[in-house]
Structure 1
Amino acid sequence: MHRYRFGIEEEYFLVNRQSAAPRSELPKPYMAAAQKRLGERLTTEILQSQIEVATPPLTSSADALAELTHYRAVLTEVGKDHGVGIIAAGTHPLAQPQQQRMTRKRRYSKVISDLGMVGLGNPISGLHVHVEVPEPDLRVEIMHRLVPFLPLLLALSTSSPFWCGYPTGLLGYRNAANDALPRTGFPEMFRNLSEYETYVKTLVDAGIVPNATYVWWALRPSLQHPTLELRITDCCTAIADSVAIAALFRALVRHAVHHPELNATYSAVHRALVEENRWRAQRYGTDGTYIDLVSFEPVSFRSWLDSVIAMVAPHVDHLGIENDIQHLKSIPKRGTSAHLQLEYFRGLRKFGHSPREAISDVTKWLRTSTEAGDFTARGGEPKAQAVRQPLTDLV
């Protein structure tokens, strides 16, 4: 029986433990001590200001929660001895592109040589989820049919409202920054594995990329591993959010496998509307109104989420994700990390903090929340509002 094994990767920003200011250099003693504890589960990233953790292949959300909790606990414990903290968010609120330094590796040198400042000046962190799909041709086929759900998954994950010390007016600015890179965004509308392989082979033969791992789409098939990889999502501050989003993606993959008619008539019109939905997910997240691809009518995010949850309901018991589905329903009510960052920022500004002071405090709160694995209490702000305010006053 196919268990739809999965793995989760989280990218973290390294920060000064006291100020939560971004680090431009990777502290080697810290990394050595952390890798001694975590082994191959911890790796460097292209920028020295970031690291990545990756779970082994898993079959349960409980195991995923335990793994990610363990990784963050180890990084926190080791960090206390080296003055290093971690932040799980799509962007570091205060990071400056011009202060980034490349990690010295052959692969990374190739990337930066090709991308220039677009690559070096792009400090963004994502949540990546791999779900096992053994058949290569099926991986490409369901990739095509799952694209319409990507904006919904992005909206649930938004954690990047700030860039270079300023509120952007977006809940998910990371995707906007990522669009500066080549071979990003939605995958092309390949009809089968042969078309996808022809695309990759052409790029490789032309010397443009060494292999398919240089194709950085929001959703991509792996030719090295039997997985379909979700890449559109921001890194989540709360571990339970990461695990719940991974669970929904697993359910969507299983549903697409069992229902070949799902989005089988996906067309250029649908593609254009999904692009609009992606923009709305970046800008408005779970507060947004989206275009339904069947009725072509506007639909609220909560209605869309409810309909998707109802669609995948037959797969919930098989995958053991009942708790994750309940958690997903709570995210629009509570708000994503981006909502909570902005609420804290707004509250501090009303208390008289300067924009720089407010964002600095938001960043410190992100560190404590990341290391706790959930949103911690926030000091120095007015009592939280019962209803979240619109974001238009931030731009």
Structure 2
Amino acid sequence: MQSICLGRQPILDRNHNLVAFELLFRQEEAEETAHVTNDLSASANVIVNAYGKFGIYNVLGHQRGFINADPDLILSDIISLLPSKHIVLEVKEPASITLEFLQRCKELKQKGYQFALDNIVAINSQVELLLPLVSVVKIDVLALTRTQLTQLVNQLNHWPVLLLALKVENQEQEAHCRQLGFQMFQGYYFAKPEVMSVKRADPGKIPLLKLLALVMQNNEQDSDIDEIEKEFKHQPGLSYNLLRMVNSGSDGLPLKINSIKQAVQLMGRKQLQKWIQLLLYTSNQSADSLSDEITQTAVTRGKLMELIAKAERPHDKNHHERAYMVGILSLLDQLLGIEMRQIVNKLGISDDMNQALLSRHGRLGQALKLIEAKEKGETELIHSLLSELDFLSLNELSDIESQVSGWSERTPSTMN
């Protein structure tokens, strides 16, 4: 199974305290630098990976993340997916600056987004247009002589900006920058970029296109939301990413999410549409047979859990939805290659779901254990668990399995 990678390089203050990370596009774990041919595509991948695949608090903690933002990204709707409290948008001096670009930057600044001017080596008319918008100026100290650097700093001291020394490679450079009054530092002298990785579990483009079509409909009725939820239920990895995105938009306190429908409603249709478009832009169409098999098993477990929950509490829809989520989440540790405890800690799901997934305790946990016993053909354990659950007979369980078998056969492949 391929890995999803994300680079991050520490940004330090004058006391060598960590204050931020620059988030970097990486395709492989061994990469120190990336071969970027499309700035927007690289930035989109960074956003998808940081927010959806890793979880922004795993990546940044309580620090801010600097993300490269070319004019296409600034002008796109993608930016609104990013909570302003998390990120600093790094802009480079463009070949030409349009009034539309400047106006968009002003609007984003008013909404609380911060900007950094990247790789600056001199001040010209283009840079002067951007300086009123930025909070941080990143100066490429490696490209300048001591005299040139001193002159540039003296010019920038007339602006209310923080200075960040970029590409610091030795103690002598750091000492000179400190003497000139730089507030932040980044470079190989302090730390090379760290490459984080998780196992790839891309949802594929066909299900995303179906979801996008549903989300773009102007119908706000519950039946329409139910159709969106149904599509998510066939995509465990995508459902996981949805929950991560919803919690990334919170204030760091995990939300108690009981259903996919609730997550969809919390995110909102407009934001959901932008997120799916971004996933379509970055989705890798390749998938391996192991991912296919795990995904299909997880979807089947979800439906089995839902029907068992309905047999136990016919009128408790909330219980049915939590049961389904336990089923589809139960194999995400295998699908993503990370521990289940890490998954549940970041998803903000209810306590009974946590117990079921981590220790197979509680009513949901017993039902999940029963399904696992059926998968393995453990006859004695099956009879024991049915006795403990006390609302389901072996024949009724067989009927449920038959229903799920028919349901899965009518369900189109989720990995096309």
Shared fold, TM over 0.5:
no
Greater fraction helix: 2
Tell me which of the two structures has the higher relative contact order, counting C-alpha pairs closer than 8 angstroms and 6 or more residues apart.
1
Q: Which has the larger radius of gyration?
A: 2
**TM-score of the pair, normalised by structure 2:** 0.28
**TM-score of the pair, normalised by structure 1:** 0.29
